[in-house]
Amino acid sequence: MGAEGGFDRDFTLPELLSPRDAAELCAVAGAVLGVPVAVLDAAGAVYGDGPPPPADAARAPLVVELEPLGFIAAACPPPALAEVARLLRWGLLARARLRMVSDLHLEAVRADYARLQQQNEALKISEAKYRELAASLDAKVREQTQIIDERQRQLYQAERLASIGQLAAGVAHEINNPLGFINSNLSAAERYREQLAGLRDALPAVEWQARDLDFVFADFADLLRDARDGVDRIARIVRDLKGFSSVDQPEEQVVDLNAQLASLLAVVNGQKKATIRLVTDFQPLPKLMCLPGHLNQAFLCILQNALQAVEAAGGTVTVRTRAVGEQITVSIADDGPGIPEDVLPRVFDPFFTTRGVGAGTGLGLTVARDIVLAHGGRIVIDLPLAGGTVVNVELPA
Amino acid sequence: MPEFEPDAGRLTFKLVYYGPAQGGKTTNLMQLHAQAGTQMKGELMTLETQHDRTLFFDLLPLGFRTASGLTVRFRLFTVPGQAAHDGTRKAVLSRADGVVFVADSQRSQATNNGESFQNLADNLGRVGLDIARLPLVVQFNKRDLADILPEDEIRRRYASAPWPLYFAAAIDGRGVGETFSALLRLVWRRYADEYDLGGRHGLDEAAFVAAGGGA
C-alpha cells in the first residue's frame, strides 16, 4: 500500500468537505458574519459552486496539521473571520480523525485478513498431509507390527539357540570327562583280559573247563568291544550336538553346508523311528557365509516336519543339496501325505499348527523362514503330483 | 523512505515512537508539543484512548521551511503498546523513516521491554524495513521513579547494541528533547545526501536538528 492509500496520507479539502457541505457552511458562516462567505481550496480557487469573494475580502486558513487545506474568505474584519475558521477547524479535524482511524482500522484488518488467509492455506496443506497420513496409517501400522513381530521371533529364537548352546556345551564338557576315563579304563581292561587269558596254560584243564572260561574270555572281549563302541557313539553324539548348536562359533563364519547337514542328520538319525529311511544326496557346494547354528535350527525344523509326515506309515525322507551358479538349494523331501490345499497358504503363519495342543508351537516353519530370510534366501514349498512334500531352501552363496 | 513531493516542495518524515504499554510514548509527544520551538507546529492529535491508553495512535506534526523553499515536515506517531493491538501497531509502523523505542526503566518492566523490542524487530521485518539501516534511538524513560534499573547496568546491557541510548523522565520533560534530537541526527545522516539537503537546501546537521525542534 503506497503512501497515497495509507491512513497517514495528507488529506485534501475535498476528502474532508464535500461541495454540498461547503455550500451549507458558507450559508451558516454568512448568516453569522452578516456578509457572504466563500470557501477557497489550497491554491486559492473558489471551492464548490458559490460566488467568488469580493476582491478586498479577508482570508483565514483552514489548518488541520501544519499547512492550510483551504481558506475562507469574506469582506469582514479578519479577527472575526479567524474565529469562524477556528470553529470550522473543529469539524475538519473531527472528520480527519475519523478518516484516519477508519483507514487505519481497515489497513490493520486487511493485513490480519491476509495473514489469516496465509495461515488458512498452511492449515489446508497440513490437513491434506494428515488426511493422507491417516489413510495410510493402517497399512503402516500393520507393516511395522509385522516387522516388530519378526524381530521378536528372531530375538526369541536367538536366545533359545543361545541357551541350547550353553546347555549343550555344559553337557558335552561333563560327559567328555567321564568318557575319557571310561575309555582308558576299557583299554586297561583289555590288557588285563589278555594277561588273564595267559592263565589257560597255567591252570589245570579240568578247572578251566569246569568254569567254562573259554566262553568267558571270548564273551569278555565282545563285551569290551561293545562297550568301546558305545563310548565311541556317545563321543560322536556329543561332538554332533556341539556342532549342531554351534556353541563354539556364535559368529558368522564360512562353512561347508554339507558337513553342517551331516552333523545335523547324525543327531536326527538317533531320534527317528526305524520305519523311516533317511537318504542323503549331497553334491559339492560352494562355501557359505552364515550363522551355522541358526541355519541348523532352520533345517531341523523342516526335517522334523518331514519326519513327522512319514511317522505313522513309514517312508523315506531325502535330503538333497545342489549348487547352481552362486545359489545353493537344499531340498528336504518326504513321501508322506503332502499338505492340504487349505493349509498350504498358512504354514508360515506364526502359531499356526495342525498338531494337537502341546505337540507343536506352530513356530517351526515361521522361525525357519525368518532365519532363511535373514540369510538373504527363501523357502519354497513344492507339492509334487506323485505325492509327498518338497521343501526347497534357496540360499545365495 | 520519506515522502517527497517535488511539486509542492515538501519532504515528509514519518517518525514512530514505539515501546511497551504505558511506557510514556504519548507523554514524549506531549512534551515535544510543549517544548519544540519549530517554525511550524501542529496540534497534538490524540486518536481515542481508553483508561489513558492509546487505542490507535497520537500524531504530532512539526515542520520548518528552508530558505530554498522546501517544506520539511516531521509527523510523529505513537503506537498502541498493548499486545492486543499488534495489527494497528504494524500499520502505524509501516513506512516509518525513524523510530524511538521508549523503554520503561522500572525493574518490573524488563520482560515487557524485551518483548516489545522483539515485536518491533518482527514488525519491521513484516513491513519491509531493515532494522540495521533504520534510524533508531532507544530511550529509557521513567528515570524519576523508584526501583528502576541503574543507568550503568542498562549501559552495560546495551554496550554491544548499535543504537544511541538516552535516559528520560518524560513526565518532567527531561531527556525528551535530547532523544528527539538524536533521532533527527540519525535521520539527517541517513537521508541528507539522498535529498541533497546539504547542497541544494543549504542545511547542515546542526541546522536540521535545531530547525526540526531538537536541541
Enumerate residues 6+ apart whose C-beta is below 8 A from B134. Answer: B96, B97, B98, B99, B124, B190
Residue A2, pLDDT > 50, answer: no
Whether the predicted pLDDT of A356 surpasses 70? no
Q: Do B71 and A67 touch (CB under 8 A)?
A: yes
Find which of B41, B82, B92 to mutate to test the A interface (most A CBs within 10 Å of its CB). Answer: B92
Q: How far apart are CA A170 and CA A237, in angstroms?
A: 14
User: In A, residues 48-87, which contact B (CB 8 Å cutoff)?
Assistant: 63-67
- Widest CA span of chain B, in angstroms? 53
Alpha-carbon distance B206 to B26, whole Å? 26
**Interchain proximity B42–A107, CB inside 8 Å:** no
CA distance A33 to chain B (A): 26
Give me the architecture of the A249-397 domain, per CATH: 2-Layer Sandwich (3.30)
Question: Cell numbers of B18, please?
Answer: 514505539
pLDDT tens per residue across span A207-244: 888 888 889 888 999 999 999 988 888 887 777 676 66
Q: Above pLDDT 90, what percent of chain A? A: 26
Question: What letters, b where the CB count within 10 A reaches 16 and e where it falls short, cover B77-113?
Answer: bbbbbbeebbbbbbbbbbbbbbbbbbbbbbeebeebb
List, in order of start, the domains of chain B with CATH numbers: 3-211 (3.40.50.300)
Q: Which residues of A touch B41 (CB under 8 A)?
A: 66
Give the best-scoring range by mean pLDDT among A148-152, B43-47, B206-210. B206-210
Residue A243, pLDDT score: 63
The CA radius of gyration of chain B, in Å to the nearest whole number, is 17
Beta carbons of A391 and A364 less than 8 angstroms apart: no
Cα of B155 to nearest chain A Cα, Å: 35
Average confidence score pLDDT of chain B:
91
| Closest CA–CA distance from residue A88 to any residue of chain B (Å) | 15
- The DSSP line for A337-372 is ----TTTGGGTTSTT--SSPTTT--S-HHHHHHHHH
Please state the ipTM of this predicted complex: 0.81
CA B215, B28, B43, A66 torsion: positive or negative?
positive
**The C-alpha cell that represents A77 in the structure block:** 474584519
Of B47, B62, B90, the CB nearest to A97: B47
State the Cα–Cα distance between residues B134 and B81, nearest whole angstrom. Answer: 20
pLDDT for position A364: 76
Q: Is the CB of residue B14 less than 8 Å from the CB of residue B96?
A: yes
- Subunit contact A93:B75, Cβ cutoff 8 A: no
Q: Which residues of B touch A65 (CB under 8 A)?
A: 42, 59, 61, 75
In chain A, where are the structural domains located? 13-118, 249-397
If phi > 0 it is left, if psi is from -120 to 50 it is alpha, else beta; for residue A37 that is beta
The minimum CA-CA distance between A63 and chain B, rounded to whole Å, is: 9
Which residues in A lie closer than 8 A to residue B95 (C-beta atoms)? 3, 6, 8
Name the DSSP class of B150: -
Among B46, B47, B79, the strongest candidate for a mutation testing the A interface, having the largest count of A CBs within 10 A, is B47
Find cell 561333563 and name the residue.
Answer: A174
| Per-residue pLDDT tens over the stretch A96-134 | 988 888 898 888 888 889 889 999 999 999 999 999 988
- Cell 541348523: give the residue: A296
CA distance B156 to chain A (A): 37
- Mention every residue, 6+ apart, whose C-beta is less than 8 A from residue B5: B11, B12
Residues A48-107 have pLDDT tens digits of 887 888 888 899 999 888 889 999 999 999 999 999 999 998 899 889 988 888 898 888
Q: What is the pLDDT of residues A242-262, one digit of tens each?
A: 666 654 556 788 889 998 898
pLDDT in tens, A154-169: 787 777 766 766 777 7
CA distances from residue A126 to A138, A292, B158 in whole angstroms, order as listed:
19, 50, 41
C-alpha cell at A102: 477508519
Whether pLDDT at A176 is above 50: yes
Q: What is the pLDDT of residues A294-336, one digit of tens each?
A: 888 889 889 888 888 888 888 899 999 999 888 999 999 999 8
Q: Which residue is closest to A113 within chain B, CA to CA?
A: B87
Residue A250: CB atoms within 10 Å: 16
Q: Name residue B64's beta-bridge partners.
A: B72
Residues of A in contact with B12 (CB under 8 A): 10
From the list B62, B77, B87, the residue facing A111 with the nearest CB is B87
